[in-house]
Chain A
């Protein structure tokens, strides 16, 4: 099976081809080793960092931005979004504070300071 991908590791956007099955994947078109790893990951277990917002309950119309501290499986994006949407925090919040833990092996952390 052959898959065509565009590498997203850097803005260069190499066009990658992946051939083979299971463990034996051959990547071409990559300009660097990161591209090869990306192609293999994308074909075997694609992951994404989810970024969103969480309401700050004790401030008027204030949201704190959050992210998954590490990428999560791509197919779990909407499940994670459900959990993020249900979450609330109270200010003050410091960037890096854990908002949700145990999210597919990682956590959701704040990315902004709310005084």
Chain B
């Protein structure tokens, strides 16, 4: 029996687990996929938004303003890579767009955002030479940054697990029943767990989970965003995250470096059938290339190494929905977490914990809680001399498996062992970057499969790309 059951192991559920793990509680994360961060948490812009955008007075405005520094602090503790690179929001010569830049500046001041300034096009280009000559007025958001959203999730959940939280993957919640004070949450597989409190962090599926306790007061509107990721050769094209002034469809197409040194372009904003509609489309990818060129004309789209699509869990109110359930006591919905959800993951977790406290959850701090997680990237951050010494003790770190990203066998084995353990090829990729580079796993995939099979003690034929029936191999010859 658990104290808190969290439905959904995305960045929101994961960070909630991590923040809750400070207290003397038995926590379990329930995830329908084979790994964590499998929904919007693995396919978004990876931006720490400054907080100028949300309407003053909204939950988004409050949690964004609080969230930025909280996020950086936690990222440091759990070794989730981030960079405070700042962002630009650009108008391109029209009076309407320039008015929007000024409006965002004012709004940012009202939201209490530090470090905002307005730059002329030339001032902005002095800082960012690749910026389009058409950019005429620019909001410089100096507190903004970039993070790796799936590494943030993995790190948060890893830290929570190191502190005793449980994670159940392939646990697709099908029903939530309450008997007296106790919830029984049952998965499609038939497995069930019991707990005193339930938090719905189911992302695109949050409305379906709410319906399991009779709540239908919100409805998730799935909106897909397509992206193209470019080779590291393009990674220094810009140093800031370059936005265009937002429209009703969202924050528009951005051009941004990533923490790993690639260049990211996107997203589009298109309503789709459901949260699993993550296919890319020719029209979407064309739009990304066209619109990105408006901000940074010199982006070389021949250097694209992959494209992907993520589905935002939006809602018609436009604000986050973080509130107790109507249908049942001791359950909290954390829903409609679209942008700036990633930025707010820590502030959302803390806000949710307050709601749980109000509902009666006893929060006794643990003396043995450890805020930090073993740095999974310690090896790649070493100097040559340090690496040499380390390899002599741990020879597996000397064997390079992924040549494009220089990932060693030791780092891959570590990712399969460290919490939350990588169970499939994509899981290894997200944790180590093996297969994330320019050849996209062409060379390293067979090797990675072998390491997964070996470490997990399973046959090669059962190793999957991302769970379920996604086996690359159909049998032995």
Give A contacts to B, CB under 8 Å. Answer: 53, 55, 61, 63, 85
Contact = CB atoms under 8 A, between A and B. Distances in A.
Contacts of B477: 53, 55, 63, 85
Nearest to A53: B477
A53 B477 CA distance: 9
Nearest to B453: A61
6 contacts: A53-B477, A55-B477, A61-B450, A61-B460, A63-B477, A85-B477
A63 to B, nearest CB: 7
B447 to A, nearest CB: 12
Contacts of B450: 61
Interface in B422-476: 450, 460
A86 to B, nearest CB: 12
Contacts of B460: 61
Interface string B169-185: 00000000000000000
Among all A-B residue pairs, the 4 with the closest Cβ atoms: A61-B460, A55-B477, A53-B477, A63-B477
Nearest to B450: A61
A63 B446 CA distance: 15
A85 B476 CA distance: 11
A65 to B, nearest CB: 13
A55 B477 CA distance: 8
Nearest to B446: A61
Which secondary structure characterizes the binding site on chain B? Answer: helix
Contacts of A53: 477
A22 B460 CA distance: 53
A47 B429 CA distance: 46
Interface in B23-45: none
Nearest to A52: B477
A55 B450 CA distance: 18
Interface of B: 450, 460, 477
Contacts of A61: 450, 460
A59 to B, nearest CB: 13
Contacts of A85: 477
B117 to A, nearest CB: 60
A112 to B, nearest CB: 16
A42 B338 CA distance: 66
A61 B477 CA distance: 10
Nearest to A63: B477
Contacts of A55: 477
B250 to A, nearest CB: 48
B476 to A, nearest CB: 8
B474 to A, nearest CB: 15
B76 to A, nearest CB: 43
B471 to A, nearest CB: 16
A97 B450 CA distance: 29
Nearest to A60: B450
Most buried by B among A55, A61, A85: A61
A63 B460 CA distance: 15
A89 B450 CA distance: 23
Nearest to A85: B477
A56 B349 CA distance: 55
A53 B450 CA distance: 20
A85 B477 CA distance: 8
Nearest to B460: A61
A61 B463 CA distance: 15
Contacts of A63: 477
A52 B263 CA distance: 42
A81 to B, nearest CB: 11
A53 B476 CA distance: 12
A45 to B, nearest CB: 30
A48 B402 CA distance: 38
A61 B450 CA distance: 10
A40 to B, nearest CB: 36
B124 to A, nearest CB: 55
A89 B386 CA distance: 45
A34 B60 CA distance: 78
A109 to B, nearest CB: 19
A67 B477 CA distance: 17
A4 to B, nearest CB: 36
B18 to A, nearest CB: 39
A63 B477 CA distance: 10
A69 B110 CA distance: 82
A79 B450 CA distance: 33
A64 B60 CA distance: 61
A63 B476 CA distance: 11
A66 to B, nearest CB: 13
A42 to B, nearest CB: 30
B461 to A, nearest CB: 11
A71 B477 CA distance: 24
B454 to A, nearest CB: 10
